[in-house]
Structure 1
Amino acid sequence: MCKRVVLILYVTVLWYYCHSIVESRKFSRGVRAKLPKNLQFPSKFPTYFFTLWIFGVQTLFLCTAVLDELLQILTPKTKLQKSIQYVRHVTFSTIVFPCTLLVVTVFWTIWHIDRELIFPKALDDFYPAWLNHTMHTFILVPLVIEVAFSQTVDKYHVLERSLLGLLAFAGTYQTIYFFIYIRHGIWLYPIYGVLNWMQRIVFVLIKVIACTLYHYVGVALLTRNKTRPEPQKLL
């Protein structure tokens, strides 16, 4: 019964994500030309916002979780089901859990300090509030479902070196982000424009530290009540 409830929850969330993606694409095509001039240039690089990267990874994770839950009901403990479950746990602990918490905490912290540094008020006339909350608040829902209902797993299922994967993912994004500034002279997030280079480096380091801490919290939650004398290494 519990498996069916989890499956229904994930299918519902996945449907909402797909609906949000469709609406977001309509928004991008319909209002780009109407945006203020200072916001039109960043809108030409919609796929380079970290929020959208995480939303995309979450969507893939939801597909994996739905397939895993379905297989656990129909054909449990098969090689295919175990492989998909492994991908699900690794994706969740490596990227989904830490990066989602990073997006939520950084976005709303800066918003409450000065929203012009992260989401200018001028966007309110063009960007639906529900879509903003979908990208920066609702993304917590899959985390709650996974932590609350997913069976605890042994550490080797979560990948001992998943932290390296997380840092590689974050490093790749940050490199591309700075390249856009060097190539086009534009900061996709306004906060970078008011900081000097030393402050930008400190800001990035703070995010790396926060993401690392979130990673360990996610692994701890997934491996709760499980003990292994010497966790195996998969890489």
Structure 2
Amino acid sequence: MPSTLRAAFHISAFGWYTFIVNYLAAKDGEELPAGIFVYGGPWKYLTFLNLLLQMTFFGLAAVNDLQPGEKAESALNRWKDLLFSVFAFPVGTFVVVLFWTIFAYDRELVYPANIDAFFPPWINHAMHTLVLPVLLGEVLVQPHTYPQMRHALAALSVVGVAYLSWIVWVYLTVGVWVYPLLGHFSAAGLLGFFFFNMAVVTLLYLLGDRLNSQIWRKDKRSD
């Protein structure tokens, strides 16, 4: 893809995510359904954290596009590739897949119907649907260097444990689970659900690596 079109894609994606993040952040403090933004506001939701992640990645990608000369070995380019390969693609895809799977089974477990009066359908799709085509677009516009698998999985595990600790802390502090689904699990069930989710994220990381290799006709991993 020509560099100007790639830059336009990155700038557009960054602008889009900036708009969505600001829209959601502005809701904090409004009269929302009980428990929605109590303690931690939107910062306790993986969906919102993922939007921040996507915004950060595309912001870095846009800045990287503006660098003069050779970019492949620059520190910014390496950080951009790391952020996309290890976090932005697997976590973003995970949010879409998990949300719509649970929503199709029983939306009350993840996105109660009373939220619709405060968040219109387009914002739901902005948070939980459009993330995936934008990520697939990024896979198509440029190759990414993937790190050694053990390093990637270690980083994902640390982030996963950190988020689990955060939502457990929220529950212990205010007695409200971030997602109603979590209230249906025992302690052992919650741990099992966590490991299941980490397995799915791992598979999505491998999927991203595979797509990158197939589309760009060579293995970009720095093993």
Q: TM-score, normalised by structure 2?
A: 0.89
Larger CA deviation: 203-212 vs 158-167 = 158-167
Tell me which residue corresponds to 1:61: 57
Q: Deviations over 1:199-227 (max 9, x none)?
A: 22222121010001111111223344225
**Compared CA separation, residues 195 and 16, structure 1 to 2 (3 A):** same
Alignment match, 2:4: 4
Aligned with 2:70 (options 74, 77, 81): 77
Amino acid across the alignment from 2:28: S
Give the structure with higher Rg (CA). Answer: 1
> What is the rounded CA distance, in whole Å, between the counterparts of 2:107 and 2:131 in structure 1?
20
What is the aligned-residue RMSD (CA, Å)?
A: 2.2
Aligned to 1:176: 166
Corresponding residue number in structure 2 for 1:148: 140
1:106 aligns with 2:98: yes
- Are 1:191 and 2:181 matched, yes or no? yes
Contact 2:108 2:180 in 1 (8 A): yes
Q: Structure 1 residue 209 and structure 2 residue 202: aligned?
A: no
Q: Among the aligned pairs, what percent are the same residue?
A: 25
* Structure 2 equivalent of residue 36 of structure 1: 33
> How far apart, CA to CA, are the structure 1 residues paired with 2:47 and 2:121?
15
Change (3 A) 1:191 1:226: same
2:124 aligned with 1:127: no
- Distance of 2:22 and 2:219 partners within structure 1: 43
Cα distance, 1:196 vs structure 2: 2.5
- In the alignment, the residues of structure 1 paired with residue 90 and residue 71 of structure 2 have an alpha-carbon distance, to the nearest angstrom, of 29
Mapped contact 1:102–1:211 kept (Cα < 8 A):
yes
- Cα 1:41–1:91 shift into 2, 3 Å: closer
Cα 1:165/1:40, change in 2 over 3 Å: closer
Specify the SS of the correspondent of 1:85.
Answer: helix
Distance change >3 Å, CA 15–CA 99, structure 1 → 2: same
**Number of paired residues?**
219
Q: Of residues 175, 190, 196 in structure 2, which corresponds to 1:200?
A: 190
Contact 1:187/1:193 (<8 A) preserved? yes
Does residue 147 of structure 2 align to residue 159 of structure 1? Answer: yes
Work out whether residues 17 and 52 of structure 2, in 8 Å CA contact, stay in contact via their aligned partners in 1: no
CA-CA distance at 1:180 after TM superposition: 1.6
Which amino acid in structure 2 is aligned with residue 132 of structure 1? N
Work out whether residues 39 and 170 of structure 2, in 8 Å CA contact, stay in contact via their aligned partners in 1.
no
Amino acid at match of 2:41: F
Structure 1-normalised TM-score? 0.84
Q: Distance in 2 between matches of 1:221 and 1:40?
A: 36
